[in-house]
């Protein structure tokens, strides 16, 4: 393959898993988009460009190319390495030591096989061995892409699709070409989730070590195109409130309103369809929880990430034995949480009997935030009143506000909007609800509107003895402050939380800092 060189003299290449993130702009004329940014430097890159033949944007994963001879030789090394290493052990160890171990094994096997390779080939082999034994094979770079939200495989021979934060649904150049390779990969996903799949149990629901959520099917009799998987990536740094203003997901007034509701212990439900941005909004408004207060969060899959110390994040789990014992449900965790003296309880999503416990907790003074599937307040109330939840209509009166998130197409771009914020004024015994809608998004002109009349503000005024004019004044100040942060580009996860905490402690100092006093 090349002149003889001692492979032991080759220095191990450094893999940069966190290269600088580019600032991406969604250009209206998609045919002008042609961007490239590193994922695992210097080996893998994302290339997003306009595919003129398909008339759509395309996501091309660029990785080192192998000659047929290199590909064959690498295959031999992978087979040999599988026979002599313990996969379960290497994924548990420190990453740096495992990378060094892979490098040593590569050099050992090349020497034993008696074939010399160039430095360039050695570096390519090292990258692919990392991907095979430590990473996630063909999709490892997708998992490293900050801008990817979902990774979707619909079966054998079909290109993978990704959901991009800026460019939304994109076809990729990655394809699982045979059923055995795809089946093996689904088994690997199950293993990394600490679960198993088989012909007897062909459906996988689990969580990867980084918190990403996995749903997969294993056999073609379940999904006719062969095994499938969908990975919802865990966002280590969620969107901050000023970022949601920048995305025009909501208005500064909406955020200022929610800030006051959170501060004064109101109960909020966030409704919407699948991937409408419910958890994103939930995490953003959790920034407004006062720094000294204790928070307990309860989820099926860990998605919330709060920049605070006084926080207990709890996650449910399925059965841990063949007999089906060891299960810990949302209901179990929620009942337990009220014995942990929380000031705020956050439930990732209510679907069943845990809703009764949540609303009982609200009634006993525990401020609660949660999400629920539903595209309107009417739908949400109906879901809460009917099986499997079956709440008493009068219990719903403890709920203060419902935020309705929605998918929307604006200027031919898919986006997410806080469509409306609806206050629950009174739910009668027959289930009919009297509501007030202080905030609404107008889809015709893509603008947000609000009125100053807020029934929840009136509740806060009476409950805490705050004059309404003072509450409205504070609402206006916080609206201006949030807008200032957006204009100045203050989006950093920790910086935003630091400023919110500082505002609680020294409001005049923060307002002076941003020219509002």
> Do 268 and 200 belong to one domain?
no
> Do 305 and 423 belong to one domain?
yes
Higher pLDDT, 2 or 248: 248
Q: Which strands, in side-by-side order, build the sheet including 168-175?
A: 34-40, 44-51, 56-62, 168-175, 159-164, 148-153, 228-232, 213-217, 203-207
> Do 335 and 438 belong to one domain?
yes
Which pLDDT belongs to residue 5?
55
22-29: long-range contacts (C-beta < 8 A, 24 or more apart)? 24/147, 24/166, 24/167, 25/166, 26/166, 26/167, 26/413, 28/411, 28/412, 28/413
Q: How many CB atoms lie within 10 A of CB 473?
A: 11
pLDDT in tens, 249-287: 999 999 999 999 999 999 999 999 988 999 999 999 999
Residue with tokens 């795809």: 182
Residues, the chain, total?
517
Name the residue range of residue 320's domain: 241-513
Judge whether 497 and 283 are in contact, CB under 8 Å. no
For residue 472, the domain's CATH number is 3.40.50.300
If pLDDT is split at 50, 70 and 90, which confidence band does 92 have? Answer: low
Residue 471 belongs to some domain of the structure: yes
Average pLDDT, stretch 162-174?
93
Which pLDDT belongs to residue 1?
45
> Do 310 and 399 belong to one domain?
yes
How buried is residue 43: exposed, middle or buried, by Cβ count under 10 Å (0-12/13-18/19+)? buried
Which pLDDT belongs to residue 352?
86
Going by C-beta distance under 8 Å and a sequence separation of 6 or more, which residues neighbour residue 310?
291, 292, 293, 294, 295
Average pLDDT, stretch 171-188?
96
Residue 2 belongs to some domain of the structure: no
Going by C-beta distance under 8 Å and a sequence separation of 6 or more, which residues neighbour residue 116?
1, 2, 3, 4, 5, 7, 110
Closest among 253, 254, 210 to 418, alpha carbons compared? 254
Q: Which of 185, 209, 232 is the last residue of a domain?
A: 232
Judge whether 36 and 46 are in contact, CB under 8 Å. yes
> Do 198 and 332 belong to one domain?
no
Could you give the CA distance from residue 511 to residue 503 in angstroms, rounded to a whole number? 8
Which pLDDT belongs to residue 26?
77
> Do 266 and 226 belong to one domain?
no
Judge whether 500 and 287 are in contact, CB under 8 Å. yes
Supply the mean pLDDT for the chain. Answer: 91
Which pLDDT belongs to residue 415?
87
pLDDT in tens, 49-62: 999 999 999 999 99
Which pLDDT belongs to residue 267?
97
Q: Is the pLDDT at 388 greater than 60, yes or no?
A: yes
Is 509 strand, coil or helix? helix
Query: Which CA distances in Å does 54 have to 20, 46, 77?
Result: 30, 19, 38
Q: Which of 202, 232, 262 is the last residue of a domain?
A: 232
Q: Would you say the C-alpha torsion 486, 496, 289, 514 has a positive or negative sign?
A: negative
pLDDT in tens, 30-76: 899 999 999 999 999 999 999 999 999 999 999 999 999 999 999 99
Which pLDDT belongs to residue 129?
96
Q: Is the pLDDT at 186 greater than 90, yes or no?
A: yes
Q: How many domains does the chain have?
A: 2
Which pLDDT belongs to residue 323?
54
Percent of the chain with pLDDT over 90: 65
Residue 1 belongs to some domain of the structure: no
> Do 351 and 295 belong to one domain?
yes
pLDDT in tens, 328-354: 888 888 888 888 889 999 999 998 888
Could you give the CA distance from residue 377 to residue 385 in angstroms, rounded to a whole number? 12
Cα Rg for the chain, rounded, in angstroms? 26
Closest among 196, 206, 154, 143 to 176, alpha carbons compared? 154
Which pLDDT belongs to residue 210?
86
If pLDDT is split at 50, 70 and 90, which confidence band does 319 have? Answer: low
> Do 200 and 300 belong to one domain?
no
Percent of the chain with pLDDT over 70: 96
> Do 227 and 246 belong to one domain?
no
How buried is residue 321: exposed, middle or buried, by Cβ count under 10 Å (0-12/13-18/19+)? exposed
Q: Is the pLDDT at 359 greater than 50, yes or no?
A: yes
> Do 307 and 354 belong to one domain?
yes
User: Which residues on adjacent β-strands are paired with residue 48?
Assistant: 35, 59
Q: Is the pLDDT at 217 greater than 90, yes or no?
A: yes
Closest among 284, 314, 283 to 298, alpha carbons compared? 314
Query: Which CA distances in Å does 62 have to 14, 65, 138, 174, 304?
Result: 18, 9, 11, 10, 32
Q: Which of 232, 257, 274 is the last residue of a domain?
A: 232
Q: Is the pLDDT at 318 greater than 70, yes or no?
A: no
> Do 182 and 258 belong to one domain?
no
pLDDT in tens, 408-423: 888 777 789 999 999 9
Locate 216 and state its tokens.
Answer: 């997969």
Which pLDDT belongs to residue 354?
85
Judge whether 105 and 125 are in contact, CB under 8 Å. no
pLDDT in tens, 456-497: 999 999 999 999 999 999 999 999 999 999 999 999 999 999
pLDDT in tens, 133-154: 999 999 999 999 999 999 999 9
If pLDDT is split at 50, 70 and 90, which confidence band does 317 have? Answer: confident
Closest among 391, 388, 392, 416 to 404, alpha carbons compared? 416
> Do 222 and 261 belong to one domain?
no
For residue 70, the domain's CATH number is 3.30.450.380
Closest among 363, 333, 365 to 349, alpha carbons compared? 333
């Amino acid at each position: 393959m090349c002149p003889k060189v001692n492979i032991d003299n080759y220095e191990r290449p450094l893999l940069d898993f966190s290269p600088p993130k580019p600032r991406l702009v969604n250009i209206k004329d998609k045919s002008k988009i042609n961007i490239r940014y590193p994922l695992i430097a210097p080996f893998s890159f994302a290339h997003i460009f306009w595919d003129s033949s398909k008339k759509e944007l395309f996501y091309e994963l660029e990785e080192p190319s192998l000659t047929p001879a290199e590909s064959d030789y690498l295959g031999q090394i992978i087979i040999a390495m599988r026979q002599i290493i313990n996969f379960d052990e290497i994924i548990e160890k420190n990453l740096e030591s495992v990378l060094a171990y892979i490098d040593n094994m590569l050099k050992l096997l090349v020497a034993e096989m008696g074939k010399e390779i160039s430095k360039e080939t050695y570096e390519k082999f090292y990258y692919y061995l990392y991907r095979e034994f430590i990473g996630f094979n063909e999709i490892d770079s997708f998992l490293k892409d900050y801008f990817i939200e979902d990774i979707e495989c619909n079966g054998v021979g079909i290109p993978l699709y990704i959901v991009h934060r800026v460019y939304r649904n994109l076809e990729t150049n990655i394809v699982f070409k045979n059923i055995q390779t795809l089946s093996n990969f689904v088994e690997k996903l199950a293993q990394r989730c600490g679960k198993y799949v088989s012909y007897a149990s062909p459906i996988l629901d689990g969580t990867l070590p980084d918190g990403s959520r996995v749903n997969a099917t294993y056999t073609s009799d379940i999904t006719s195109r062969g095994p499938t998987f969908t990975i919802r990536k865990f966002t280590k740094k969620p969107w901050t409130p000023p970022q949601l203003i920048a995305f025009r997901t909501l208005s500064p007034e909406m955020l200022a309103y929610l800030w006051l509701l959170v501060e004064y212990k109101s109960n909020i439900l966030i409704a919407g369809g699948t991937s409408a941005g419910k958890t994103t909004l939930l995490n953003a408004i959790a920034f407004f929880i006062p720094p000294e207060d204790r928070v307990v969060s309860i989820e099926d899959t860990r998605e919330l990430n709060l920049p605070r110390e006084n926080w207990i994040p709890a996650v449910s789990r399925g059965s841990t034995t063949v007999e089906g014992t060891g299960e810990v449900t949302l209901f179990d965790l929620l009942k337990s949480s009220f014995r942990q003296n929380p000031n705020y309880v956050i439930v990732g999503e209510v679907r069943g009997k845990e809703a009764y416990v949540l609303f009982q907790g609200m009634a006993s003074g525990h401020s609660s935030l949660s999400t629920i599937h539903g595209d309107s307040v009417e739908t949400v109330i109906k879901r809460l009143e009917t099986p499997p939840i079956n709440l008493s209509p009068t219990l719903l009166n403890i709920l203060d506000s419902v935020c309705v998130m929605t998918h929307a197409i604006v200027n031919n771009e898919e986006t997410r909007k806080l469509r409306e914020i609806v206050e629950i004024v009174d739910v009668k015994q027959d289930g009919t609800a009297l509501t007030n809608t202080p905030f609404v998004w107008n889809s015709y002109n893509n603008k947000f509107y609000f009125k100053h009349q807020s029934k929840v503000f009136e509740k806060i005024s009476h409950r805490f003895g705050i004059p309404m004019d003072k509450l409205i004044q504070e609402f206006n100040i916080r609206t201006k402050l949030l807008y200032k942060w957006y204009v100045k580009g203050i989006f950093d996860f920790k910086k935003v939380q630091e400023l919110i905490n500082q505002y609680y402690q020294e409001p005049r100092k923060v307002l002076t800092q941003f020219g509002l006093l």
